[in-house]
């Protein structure tokens, strides 16, 4: 299963062509995302992103619904790999 996370478009880095990119903010963290599939998006729009690629533009209401669902899940057990004592991976 894949999970797309909504973020808000902050600024375009490169808007033209297949290598278009924009800066997207996810809960205070900003990342540059490939935007070739969502070139019609405008600053302030919510963008659904999977693996660094924008896959769809969504409205603020849908973004809020997704944020609420993620907050309800709350338990992130198994989402982060635990390191053994000492903080290093075992070989």
CATH number at residue 71: 2.30.30.140
Instruction: Please report whether residue 82 resides in a domain.
Output: no
Which helix H or strand E contains 46, and what residues bound it? Answer: strand 46-50
For residue 88, give both structure tokens. 């290093």
Instruction: Please report whether residue 60 resides in a domain.
Output: yes
Instruction: Please report whether residue 83 resides in a domain.
Output: no
> Residue 85 has what pLDDT?
52
Task: Give the chain's domain count.
Answer: 1
Q: Are 89 and 83 in contact (CB under 8 A)?
A: yes
Ranges of residues in the chain with a pLDDT under 70 are 1, 75-91
> Residue 82 has what pLDDT?
40
Cα separation, 86 vs 82, whole angstroms: 11
Give the pTM: 0.74
> Residue 78 has what pLDDT?
41
> Residue 87 has what pLDDT?
46
């Amino acid at each position: 299963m894949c999970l797309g996370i909504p973020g808000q478009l902050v600024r375009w880095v490169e808007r033209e062509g297949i290598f278009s990119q924009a800066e997207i903010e996810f809960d205070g963290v900003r990342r540059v995302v490939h935007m070739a599939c969502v070139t019609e998006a405008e600053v302030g729009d919510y963008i659904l992103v999977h693996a660094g690629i924008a896959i769809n533009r969504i409205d603020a209401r849908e973004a809020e619904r997704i944020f609420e669902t993620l907050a309800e899940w709350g338990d992130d057990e198994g989402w982060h790999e635990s390191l053994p004592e000492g903080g290093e991976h075992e070989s």
